[in-house]
Structure 1
Amino acid sequence: MASPEQDLAPVLDKDGVRLTVDDTLATVTLTNPAKRNAQSPALWRALAEAGRLLPGSVRVVVLRGEGKSFSAGLDRQMFTPEGIPGEPSFIELARRDDAGLDATIAEYQEAFTWWRRTDVVSIAAVQGHAIGAGFQLALGCDLRVVADDVQFAMRETSLGLVPDLTGTHPLVGLVGYARALEICATGRFVGAEEAVSSGLANLAVPAAELDGAVRDLAAALLAAPRDAVVETKALLRGAVDRTYDEQRAAERAAQARRLRDLAGLGE
């Protein structure tokens, strides 16, 4: 994929993650195509840092991966007895007490959570393999545009693990419990056609058109007034936890804020 950020100075560029900002649009790129953008704790820390460094001017964030694969999941070295130098191995993690293990996994999850902030809309541009942690990272975003060669798979269960990088909640919300269970328990691949038909992806395009399709979607999102998009995203994100009447009340409150703001009467 051609990089849409090639002329921009990076705000962050380390541990397989690069963040660039072009006014209201930010791009986060996974930059280790030789390893199919395999993920490690260092990469997760860099992704979390990218979220903290995001300027307030940014309205849309695009997440992409260099090379033929979006992300093939965990770095296989994490599964070896020695693990990745400088990082806790799985065996070391297992030996920690409940609080220590919980805190470590919570730290890892931070890389996957900030994409759903109400002040930005995030788009994952996904090509090739998006496996395990790669699948969950794409699920962390609000929207997914996929290439026609995409291959999603949740392989944690086949390794004796569970998906623990925040992917289970959005997956069930997108495709329903039964299909989510079947995808996770079997570890099978989900291609572009099924991804779109099941609601997992918003749009599928030929691989050569992926960057262009994402740019068009970003432009359409940026065309609407920012505060209206922020309020709408907050409404939709909260809808699943509200009753019908509670959602009606939330709509009224949000619209009141918008009307007063447009009339120049906002706080």
Structure 2
Amino acid sequence: MLNAQNPAMWQAMRDVSRELPGDVRVVVVRGEGRAFSAGLDLSVAGASGPGSFAEMSALPDQECMDQIAGFQAAFNWLHRPDLVSIAAVQGHAIGAGFQLALACDLRVLAEDARFSMAEVTLGLVPDLAGTKRLVELVGYARALEICATGRRLDAAEADRIGLATLVVPVGELDDAVGDLTAGLLANDRNAVVEIKALLAGASGRTHVEQQRAEREAQTRRLRELVGRGE
């Protein structure tokens, strides 16, 4: 299976986010079969129904952008502050598939993983909340080259430029994701949440602001830990 994506799938992903139990700490996103995701289902895009190019192009600008915002919501929840999300990537992750992997906090790649931001080959732009994350991970110049050429990156290159958290042999992907998940779950949930917030916001803060954020987070942790022991 190639796990192509369409508006119905994005609605289902939004539904998962709303129905997720509050005690869930780690979410693993994986594709069934030999590919993580081949990207947008072009048969749907070329049709005339909801989410098709024809239908969206006929909408007023704001309605078109609102519809895209709904698609983006299927990806945005994966970096919620109370969760750590892991993409387990095997085979191709193309276009929307690449952006789905980028939406996750961490990416564990099998050695056969292949990324491509292929929207440009259709005359489109990446619009599923992946552009900022890509720039944060690899820098502006590299992100521009990846998006404007649509070329494919193998797992070794993804690892070298900072897209991969870990690269493992194909047969070890499940075990590697399991070990990473266990490591995350072994520690205090609230401490992990505070750490994620500190790191996620660091690029937007000065050194002074970041140090203040550290002090505030540590004060909250100390109060909670001492309160537990009383």
Structures share a fold, TM > 0.5? yes
Structure 1 residue ranges, 4+ long, deviating more than 4 angstroms after superposition: none
Give the whole-Å Cα distance in 2 for the aligned partners of 1:174 and 1:221: 21
1:87 aligns with 2:44: no
* Deviation (angstroms), 1:265: 7.7
1:257 aligns with 2:220: yes
Letter in 1 for 2:134: L
1:60 aligns with 2:23: no
CA RMSD after TM alignment: 1.2
Query: Deviation per CA, 1:69-88, whole angstroms, max 9, x where unpaired?
Result: 000000011342x24xx524
Contact 2:26 2:83 in 1 (8 A): yes
Of 181, 184, 187, the match for 2:150: 187
**Is 37-46 or 242-251 further displaced after alignment?**
242-251
SS at match of 1:190: strand
Partner of 1:73: 39
Structure 1 length normalisation: TM-score?
Answer: 0.84
1:222 aligns with 2:196: no
* Deviation (angstroms), 1:244: 1.2
Between Structure 1 and Structure 2, which shows a larger proportion of helix residues?
2
Query: Deviation per CA, 1:95-130, whole angstroms, max 9, x where unpaired?
Result: 111110111000010110001011110000000000
Query: Deviation per CA, 1:174-232, whole angstroms, max 9, x where unpaired?
Result: 01111111011111111111111111011111111101100000000111110000000
Letter in 1 for 2:67: T
Give the whole-Å Cα distance in 2 for the aligned partners of 1:66 and 1:117: 24
Letter in 1 for 2:61: D
Partner of 2:5: 39
Letter in 2 for 1:99: Q
Contact 2:35 2:92 in 1 (8 A): yes
SS at match of 1:263: helix
SS at match of 1:240: helix
- CA 1:265–1:57: 2 relative to 1, 3 Å: closer
Give the whole-Å Cα distance in 2 for the aligned partners of 1:79 and 1:49: 22
Ranges in structure 1 where 5+ consecutive residues have no aligned partner: 1-32
Give the whole-Å Cα distance in 2 for the aligned partners of 1:144 and 1:171: 13
Letter in 1 for 2:5: Q
Ranges in structure 2 where 5+ consecutive residues have no aligned partner: none
Letter in 1 for 2:95: G
1:201 aligns with 2:167: no
SS at match of 1:165: coil
Structure with greater contact order relative to length (CA < 8 Å, sep ≥ 6): 2
Give the whole-Å Cα distance in 1 for the aligned partners of 2:216 and 2:59: 46
SS at match of 2:85: strand
Query: Deviation per CA, 1:152-190, whole angstroms, max 9, x where unpaired?
Result: 000111211100000001100001111111011111111
SS at match of 2:175: helix
Of 91, 96, 105, the match for 1:133: 96
Residues matched between the structures, number: 229
Give the % identical residues. 62
Structure 2 length normalisation: TM-score?
Answer: 0.97
